[in-house]
Structure 1
Amino acid sequence: MATPSDVSDVSDSVAAPATAAAPLTKPSGAHGTPETELPPIVPRRRIGRGLSATAALLVFAMVLVSVVRNEAFQWDVVGQHFTTAAVLDGLLLTLWLTGAVMVLGFLFGTVLAVMRLSANPVLRTLSWGYVWIFRSTPLLVQLLFWFNIGALYPTLGLGIPYGPELFTIKTVNLLGPTLTAVIGLTLHETAYAAEVVRGGILSVDPGQTEAAQALGLSRRRTLRRIVVPQAMRSIVPTAGNMLIGTLKGTSIVSVLAVHDLLYSVQLVYNQNYQVIPLLMVATLWYIAVTTVLSAGQYYVERYYARGSSRGLPLTPPQRLRIRLTALRARLHTLTAPGTR
């Protein structure tokens, strides 16, 4: 038969585990309810990431120092010719060629894309054949072909079929180097722009078009208000890459003696024999313009990303503001009174 003292010993031994676990809880609140104390969160140490970043920064610093301190670049000569009239005239012609070719290329490319998506087999075949031919031949071959088009067609005329001609003009007088460059680059760009536009249109869910037709919207309005805005999410990134590629690709027209940026630089270093500094002038201008175009592409992509399921990407100023806020909060925590 158990005595009262034995019962108290058993109760004490049963309550012992609860007493041992007491440090994991603490009273909180007005009612004194126990609250579990969570262990501190320690960020994971990524040693490999830090070592790789340090090695990359070290290599970058070594390359930067070697470029800056290398006297063969002749940075003083680069500064002298960076804003000369000849270089700036070539830069303006390069920008004009890039803008004209991109506008005309996407204008004609959109027509080809619509033809490719048409139910008419003749239009589909002609559009496919154009894209096939101009994507299969190098750009330099196309430019040289158009530059020598006078050998095939010495004169161009307009008149009545099988009747008298109203007027004729010699091809040599009509197609100069600059116009030849515009024609060759535009025809080449049209083939790629057609595929970009076609791919963007095909990326839109067909259910969008079916829903618009169910609402009674016309085909043109459906294309303009529903299909194109959604297709631009796929078109803009590729079109931005094409724009930058066209900017750099215009340098190939220097073989036609078109006074673009590269040809203007070549004329200068053929006179003073400062080849490396003048090439650095052209390189820096290409980098500067490409940087501006890349920034514009980023904001255009962000504009057409509205309404998608994912949130809008942060702009560089917004990212900088968030990092500065986090840094300010961390400094405030470290300098707060009572912080060890």
Structure 2
Amino acid sequence: MTDRVLILGGRGRIGSSVAEDLATHTHAQITITGRSPEIGRDVSLSGGEKIKYLVLDLAEIGKLQEAIANSDLVIHCAGPFHYRDANVLKLCIEQGVNYLDVSDHRSYTNKAVNYREQAAVAGVTAIVNTGIFPGISNSMVRQGVEQFDQAEKIHLSYLVSGSGGAGVTVMRTTFLGLQHPFVAWIDEKWQTIKPYSEREIIEFPCPYGRSGVYWFDMPETFTLPHAFPSIKTVITKFGSIPDFYNHLTWIAAHIFPKQLMQQHRAIEFLSYVSHFMTDITNRFSGIGVAVRSEVTGLKNGATAVYCSTLVHENTAVASGCGTGSIAQLLLEGKLKKPGVWPVEEALSTDLFEYAMQSRKIKIHHHWL
């Protein structure tokens, strides 16, 4: 029988990238959803007849239940996840359907992992935070941690050119991430961090070179310490190309009135203005992504640093590869772990390396 995959929010830039990856690497029948009937008239993804369109609003619970019941795997790409509850996951568990998402905010991750026991009892494998970062980045960390007798520190740096090939939802995610301080695991204590603070210059691979990154609230800031108990510090920093976007984002985080940054209309205005700007600068900056993972720890009695880097020319496509590869492994029965898990706790390094090789994504490693 043909596997049936339901991609919620599948007409967005990330969702459509996931759909195209699955159409390329599996024989699944893919249904993508969106709220507009007009969009459904132009389903022009490369998957052709393998991809169908369904008009669906997540608020239509009955229709959502029916769509999930008719699927073997549900992939939730309908962000921003700052606003989402875990109802889709809950319905998947009730229907016994495996689940993935591209969530990128700790509030949603916290809601999802609360269903770990229910998913385990139901035999449902649910993996959250798939994509590029979080997602592929988490598995790069796992690769690094496994090189040590005792890993102690993780430093993740992300760099995105222009819009990254993603839609306005990603811009919303960025500005929503500036609203509140967050806690990070530093020196074996949870410490409060100001978003977009403590600029640091990081050496990324070509074509990026030395670029600025800033503290940013990501789910892996708190999932990685739980996955790897020996870790004493986890740092997650993010930056943009061209660099003037970093300075504009810093102003939004530190100069704009907090009350303004917590208003929906202000977030929408900033998101659309930013997306308009990146439509112009994308021509010069490209839409690529760079990920750098540094793990510090003890090896053979001495302190060492293991560095992993990845560069991809299209951030949205890279995210599609991250999620699509895990979906493929689930559909093929190569990955099964009932419960709700972040990527680093669900995906073995062997399977991760296999998935990246099949998609010709190269990750470079070296000791510092």
- Calculate the TM-score normalised by the size of structure 2: 0.20
Q: Which has the higher strand share?
A: 2
